[in-house]
Amino acid sequence: MPDPRDIVDIDGLRPATDPAQPSGDGRCHGGGGARKPFLMIWFRCCAAYGRLNKTPDGLCYEGRCPRCLAHLEVPVGEGGTSRRMFEAY
């Protein structure tokens, strides 16, 4: 059983089945839309993590380094991959 001191309670996100602290219904009420595909990138140029979102045409993932704003475009390969974290040199 987890130590209760290790739990961070975000109002409204605790599962309703938790008898210790019934708060909220366990559902997230933000956004409500479908999740958009993305890749998590470690930008070595600035030692920072960033996120590349899939373009509307679905042919690549595109984004910028969060610090120096270097542009990065990653094509979607045939067959794809299940990996979601990559490094950009």
37-68 pLDDT tens trace:
899 999 999 999 999 999 999 999 999 999 99
pTM for this entry:
0.59
Strand order in the sheet with 38-43: 71-75, 60-64, 48-54, 38-43, 85-88
Task: Identify whether the C-beta of residue 19 lies closer than 8 Å to the C-beta of residue 63.
Answer: no
Angstrom distances, CA of residue 7 to CA of 1, 14, 30, 39: 12, 10, 21, 28
Give kind and range of the element (H or E) at residue 75.
strand 71-75
Low-confidence winner among 24-28, 41-45, 61-65, 75-79 (lowest mean pLDDT): 24-28
Task: Identify whether the C-beta of residue 89 lies closer than 8 Å to the C-beta of residue 80.
Answer: no
